[in-house]
A = this chain, B = another copy of it.
Amino acid sequence: MLFIPSYSVRMPKGEMRKPLLGDLRGPNQPLCDLGSRTVGILGSGDFSRSLAWRLVASGVRVVVGSRNPKRSTGLFPEEVEVTSHQEASAQAHVIFIALFPEHYSTLVSLKGVLAGKVLVDVSNSLKLNHDRPSNAELLATVLPESTVVKGFNVVSAWALLNRPHDGNKQVLICSDSCEAKNTVIILARTMGFIPVDMGCLSSARDIENAPLRLFPSWSTPVLCWIGLFSFFYTYNFVRSVLLPYVVKGQNVFYKLPVETVNKTFPSVSLVMLGLVYLPGLLASVQQLRRGTKYQQFPGWLDRWLCMRKQLGLLSFFSAALHAVYSLCLPMRRSARYELLNAAFKQVKEGKENSWVEEEVWRMELYVSLGILALGLLSLLAVTSLPSLGNSLNWREFSFIQSKLGCVALTVAILHTLMFGWGRAFDKTQYRFYLPPTFVLVLILPCVVLVARLSLALPYVSHRLERIRRGWEVGPWVHFQQQECHSSLEGVSTV
């Protein structure tokens, strides 16, 4: 639905450029003369038909090879010649292989006519493939005398049929032959896609896996978010709504949609912010203990380090929602009624001034620190946009994510402490033997902050920096100093 196109020169709508009839074949024809070039497609399925439509609309002459040409003719635009596999292969220099990989072996019979030609493998895997060779590599094995280019598999038949208005217009292309890749890249551009050169054919497996992804890097962080949200929501529900109802008969169920949620979001946000900075600390501790950085982290730590950006974005999202919920509080009817009742009570009691200086200060500081924390988190989130991130060098990126991030964590902790104020030491707050939520929430972030500060102690930080510059504890230190990449490697892991 919502998509702002990157720079694209739009093809005039509905235009159907007639291909020139003069039809030259072979690798010597000029690269750009697409009108006079015939492109072949083997297969007459859905993708083949969509591809043919798009190629014809882009002004390219198309010949389709089908196992049953008579039957298939009606399925293609009338500009397309539908003939046998053999005949189609003979007419074209660039040939799309729109068959199931299971049928690649049948192409052996076309070995002769396909020799020296450019074959475009458009197939997809049905499931993620980590160890088997890719379909494209399989095709290259079956037809070693042809040049295989992998591409167009990330494009759906639907996108081919309906020029891509929105969504990703990138077409990932790889091949071991620069020339063949170039031809396909120009063809992709002519069709209105944005070709991306992915290098050698060994990237084909990754390209085939690409369309199967569904937010792989988000699943654990989102599960973690859901878990934390459920825990804190339940805790708040039991402590502030259910137990008061059961024990004292107070009916405050109206707090469920807004107030309880608004207590839960900041808890989740702060704990996740702690989870963002924890793995970096663990990594530093391991490096300190082993005295070297040239040892791999355990798998779980490695995966956790990879998840920091997602954890951070979810933390920011929770914080932003907490802000919106908080801003909505005075808008609610319940706030209005409470205020009116308080006014009534004040009048009845004849209390001219209800001002409580301590409460005022607590709230002003609480609000101010909260806005500051949200502002810092926004900066972190904005610099995580790919286009902005690519405009930062490592020094700038590390400054923002490490320094600013740490300040944001500190401010968020102070914000929570302001909320708590004296209540952490107030016995009545531990009703039903459950501590207030903010006490639970603060544990992890405070541990992270203290650990972080200990790593900044002079001796520890000196040792850590030496390790990160590539030194190891041992007699070869001085030798090491001579031959080493200058400066700037000390990008901290946190």
Contact = CB atoms under 8 A, between A and B. Distances in A.
A47 B490 CA distance: 11
Contacts of A325: 371
Contact of A390 (B6, B67, B277, B342): B6
A426 B482 CA distance: 73
A11 interface: yes
Contact of A361 (B30, B189, B211, B254): B254
Contacts of A182: 178
Interface SS, A side: helix
Contact of A485 (B47, B317, B365): B47
Interface stretch (A232-240, A395-403, A435-443): A395-403
Interface string A2-14: 1111111111111
Interface string A236-270: 00000000000000000011111001000000000
A401 B480 CA distance: 53
B360 A254 contact: yes
B341 A397 contact: no
A46 interface: yes
A409 B364 CA distance: 31
Contact of A341 (B354, B472, B493): B354
B214 A489 contact: no
A215 interface: yes
Given A2-B384, A395-B213, A493-B158, A31 B168 contact: no
B49 A470 contact: yes
A393 B210 CA distance: 7
Interface stretch (A330-338, A446-454, A456-464): A330-338
A356 B340 contact: no
B254 A391 contact: no
Nearest to A169: B390
A6 B386 contact: yes
A396 B356 CA distance: 53
A109 interface: no
A357 interface: yes
A209 interface: yes
Given A99-B483, A336-B342, 13 more contacts: A1-B312, A2-B380, A124-B485, A156-B489, A157-B485, A165-B308, A166-B401, A212-B488, A261-B368, A324-B375, A327-B328, A332-B360, A334-B364
Q: Which 6 A-B pairs have the closest CB atoms?
A: A46-B470, A45-B484, A47-B485, A32-B200, A9-B206, A2-B384
